[in-house]
Amino acid sequence: MGRSNRALFILTILVGSFLLFMVEPMVARMALPRLGGAPNVWNSAMLVYQALLLAGYGYAHWLSRKPLWRQAVIHLIALCIAATTLPIALAQVASPAPGWEAIWVPWLLLLTVGPVFFLIAAQAPLMQRWFAADSRAGQPWALYAASNLGSFAGLVAYPLVAEPLLALHGQSLVWAVGYGLLILLVAACAWSRRKTVDAARPSAPLLRASEVTSWRRKLHWLALAAIPSGLMLSTTTHLTTDIFASPLLWVIPLGLYLLSFVVAFADRRVLAGVLTFVAPVVLLFTGSYAMLADGSGALLLAGGSCVLLFVVSVALHARLYDLRPDAGHLTGFYLIMSAGGALGGLFTALVAPLVFDWSWEHPLLILGAALLVPLDEILRWRRMEGLDQRLARIALVLLLLLALFLSVQLFDLFTEPGTKMTAMLLTVFLTGTGVMVMGWRWAFVAVLLLAMLGQGGLLTIMSSYEGQRTRSYFGIYTVRDYRSSGLRILSHGTTLHGQQSLDPDKRRMPLTYYGPRSGVGLALASADRLEGDSARIGVVGLGTGSLACYARPGQDWTFFEIDPVILHYSTSGKFTYLRDCAPRARVILGDARLELEAVPPRRFDMLVIDAFSSDAIPLHLLTQEALQVYLRALSERGVLLMHISNRYVELEPVIAALARSEGLTARVRQDWPENLDLYTPSHWIALSRDSSSINELAKMHPDSPWSRLQAPAQRPWTDDHASILPFIRWSRLIGYP
């Protein structure tokens, strides 16, 4: 076999995988104006991609049973037919009814990218099969590592290169050119095998034929593939809930997942062996935080989750590699692997949000990994020569009792201030105890579970038992009463979403980001003077309904809310702002941008945009096209108020660029309240076509000054071109204030 042919197959696999995994964030980015930035949108997208990957692998498996020349003819014709759907553009599908997003999102993505994704998904196993058809070619498994390396490169290239430099239309055109190159490369691979008689037969098998075809072996492959896939998505949920829904973060867990295949399927086994050896320790230490739900150290835990994902994925995928069949069963093996990946995605993206009130899938998948990860006893004490096995079992019982004691001590410290170092030491001791019992898998899993329970897991279970949480397609919400402060608090992810006083005399007080000195509080309190007694107010994002208590008699109020769960909180009595202060206000369910497009022009005198989900950025609500929708709905002197408080992204230059592009006058109000028990620091921007409206608003409250915006970004975000990369507060991401 010539080196040129090997290089050709590697190049073909690299290009195909690069295109396959660049198109994932590209299509998700195209869909943002229609879908919004909820974490489950990306999980739904991943579910579609995994289903198409499974279908592609099934097609490759079916095709591989035919003569090589027929495989080439069928595949090349199919690739050319799919090319007629390029360049990729978002399918035009009617918007979903509330509650049907989990089905509608996959359907939209399937129609948009289905044909080309399906065929490119097939090319990696198919090219390996063609490669192995030549008896001189050697084993094809390392080419799978090359495939995942290409996938990783495509993922990284999108947020770092494609998204900042190219508009979506340009990205789609460049991708179409790459697809054309792939067709030529596949044709070249087929030509290189034109005289080859398929030699990839089950000779010198790595496993006996009975093992390859046994259901037990196939179920083992399935489980080893499913756990890392589910972990990848559950880790993604955490990152995109608590930071921001952007391809920059979407690709981190998926990229680590793909890199795990590169390590696990490499010819050189040293790194895979080292990571497999340390995987149980990583599971014990980092996995102990999997039930923690209070949001403390969120970024540190996110980093730990990423480390756990990578190490565990390498360990389980390396085990898959060790259990691989011969090249004659290659496509069937990959088909089962793909089915496992789809199964893990199905559980995390569809089943878990319907069944669980919290992200219980994450600790369950970690416990599943503990049941499957290879356990190589580090200390080997129970195998010591002369050690009576009865003494070993007694020692095991004592170690488990020690783990229980440490877990109880850890839980007792959990809510105490200033005990982080002690808690860390207890976690280290628990990890050591788990290492001591690695000779018994059930005991290893038991210690991991005890560590989870001690590390805040009991409180998380109690919150579920007491019915404090609700989960929807758009997030996980927790409602807690704090009797000591007399407050009922709504949190979304780890971010405060609103609160209300439990004191009947104070329950009409708008709190948190909406206090009387906040930008929105000042503007709404002045609405009658700015717009008259019959001012028409629109609010995007209901939350707890706090803003309703700025309503005055004669005013017309309309709320826009995408999540029925949030509306239920206000109508069921959990939060009473809406009922107490604006009972006649209309609430429109649906995506605010789409619903605002349907309202009559100049419908509102004041429009409030407050649609952040945890710290996730609703990018589709901050583009030039979105701003034009808002301006169409505003009267000529109308005031637009945008809430941009965020821990990790600096949005003021983005809004300044939008204001400049539309010729708007803008001022910013940063509120730093003294009473942090009731009010939260907030960052609001007021914009208007009429400069007198903004100037008048600023003059009404000289003791609460409005400032000019900082320098605008170079260009405004648009639906076609927006990159969050230049505006990330990197110091916050790595833990500095």
Q: HSE on the CB side for 133, CA within 13 Å?
A: 27
What's the distance, Cα to Cα, between the start and end of the chain in Å?
Answer: 58
The pLDDT score that the predictor gives to residue 235 is 85
Q: What is the pLDDT of residues 264-303, one digit of tens each?
A: 888 788 999 999 999 999 999 999 988 887 555 556 677 8
**pLDDT surpasses 50 at 569:** yes
The pLDDT score that the predictor gives to residue 159 is 79
Is residue 147 in some structural domain? Answer: yes
Is residue 478 in some structural domain? Answer: no
The pLDDT score that the predictor gives to residue 197 is 62
State which of 101-110, 125-134, 304-313, 353-362 shows the largest mean pLDDT: 304-313
3-class SS at 733?
Answer: helix
**pLDDT surpasses 80 at 45:** no
The one-character DSSP state at 605 is E
The pLDDT score that the predictor gives to residue 617 is 58
The pLDDT score that the predictor gives to residue 309 is 95
Question: How far apart are alpha carbons 143 and 122 in whole angstroms?
Answer: 14
Q: Which of 433, 448, 465 is the last residue of a domain?
A: 465
Region 432-440: mean pLDDT is 89
What are 228's two structure tokens? 């890392």
Region 163-180: mean pLDDT is 91
Q: Are residues 241 and 95 in the same domain?
A: yes
Q: Which of 430, 449, 465 is the last residue of a domain?
A: 465
> CA nearest 107: which of 47, 39, 24, 19?
47
**pLDDT surpasses 70 at 458:** yes
Q: Residues of the chain with pLDDT > 70: what percent? A: 86
CA distances to 40, 561, 610, 655, 661 from 613, in Å: 12, 12, 9, 18, 26
Question: How far apart are alpha carbons 205 and 207 in whole angstroms?
Answer: 5
Q: What is the CATH number of the domain that holds 562?
A: 3.40.50.150
> CA nearest 300: which of 258, 79, 292?
292
Q: Which of 386-395, 560-569, 697-706 has the lowest mean pLDDT?
A: 386-395
Is residue 503 in some structural domain? Answer: no
**pLDDT surpasses 80 at 315:** yes
The pLDDT score that the predictor gives to residue 310 is 96
Is residue 495 in some structural domain? Answer: no
Based on the structure, what is the number of domains in the chain?
3
The pLDDT score that the predictor gives to residue 412 is 84
CB 313 within 8 A of CB 111: no
Q: Are residues 101 and 42 in the same domain?
A: yes
Question: How far apart are alpha carbons 210 and 356 in whole angstroms?
Answer: 39
Q: Which long-range CB contacts under 8 A does 96-103 form with residues at least 24 apart?
A: 98/562, 98/564, 98/589, 98/590, 99/473, 99/564, 101/35, 101/40, 101/44, 101/473, 102/40, 102/44, 102/350, 102/353, 102/354, 102/473
Is residue 496 in some structural domain? Answer: no
Question: How far apart are alpha carbons 184 and 80 in whole angstroms?
Answer: 10
Q: Are residues 397 and 364 in the same domain?
A: no
The pLDDT score that the predictor gives to residue 42 is 64
Residue where the block lists tokens 């090589």: 68
Q: Are residues 288 and 389 in the same domain?
A: no
Q: Are residues 415 and 357 in the same domain?
A: no
Q: What is the CATH number of the domain that holds 232?
A: 1.20.1250.20
Q: Are residues 257 and 389 in the same domain?
A: no
**pLDDT surpasses 70 at 20:** yes
pLDDT band at residue 415 using 50, 70 and 90 as cut-offs = low
Q: Are residues 409 and 309 in the same domain?
A: no
pLDDT band at residue 100 using 50, 70 and 90 as cut-offs = low
Q: Which of 13-17, 300-304, 485-489, 534-538 has the lowest mean pLDDT?
A: 300-304
Q: Are residues 361 and 386 in the same domain?
A: no
**pLDDT surpasses 90 at 645:** no
Q: Which of 339, 372, 405 is the last residue of a domain?
A: 372
Question: How far apart are alpha carbons 694 and 726 in whole angstroms?
Answer: 29
The pLDDT score that the predictor gives to residue 735 is 47
CB 597 within 8 A of CB 564: no
What are 591's two structure tokens? 């995506």
Q: What is the pLDDT of residues 617-641, one digit of tens each?
A: 567 788 899 999 999 999 999 999 9
Mean of per-residue pLDDT scores for the chain? 84
Is residue 475 in some structural domain? Answer: no
Q: Are residues 267 and 148 in the same domain?
A: yes
Q: Which of 70-79, 109-118, 239-248, 706-715 has the lowest mean pLDDT?
A: 239-248
CB 448 within 8 A of CB 281: no
Region 369-394: mean pLDDT is 78
Q: Which long-range CB contacts under 8 A does 107-112 form with residues at least 24 apart?
A: 108/31, 108/34, 108/35, 109/27, 109/28, 109/31, 109/44, 109/45, 109/48, 110/48, 110/52, 112/27, 112/30, 112/31, 112/88
**pLDDT surpasses 70 at 40:** no
Q: What is the pLDDT of residues 527-540, one digit of tens each?
A: 998 888 899 999 99
**pLDDT surpasses 80 at 105:** no
User: Given phi > 0 = left and psi -120 to 50 = alpha, else beta, which region is 326?
Assistant: beta
> CA nearest 700: which of 720, 719, 686, 717?
686
- Name the amino acid, one letter, at 30: M
State which of 217-221, 415-419, 446-450 shows the largest mean pLDDT: 446-450
The pLDDT score that the predictor gives to residue 249 is 65
> CA nearest 374: which of 323, 339, 324, 429?
323
Q: What is the pLDDT of residues 200-236, one digit of tens each?
A: 444 444 444 455 557 888 899 999 999 999 999 888 8
Q: What is the pLDDT of residues 145-162, one digit of tens each?
A: 788 888 888 888 887 888
Domain holding 420, by residue range, is 382-465
**pLDDT surpasses 50 at 359:** yes
Region 337-352: mean pLDDT is 87
Question: How far apart are alpha carbons 84 and 451 in whole angstroms?
Answer: 55
Q: Are residues 114 and 194 in the same domain?
A: yes
**pLDDT surpasses 60 at 426:** yes
The pLDDT score that the predictor gives to residue 540 is 93
Is residue 545 in some structural domain? Answer: yes
Q: Are residues 13 and 133 in the same domain?
A: yes
Is residue 471 in some structural domain? Answer: no
Q: Are residues 209 and 248 in the same domain?
A: yes
CB 300 within 8 A of CB 113: no
Q: What is the pLDDT of residues 665-717, one digit of tens each?
A: 999 999 999 888 889 999 999 999 999 999 999 888 778 889 999 899 989 98
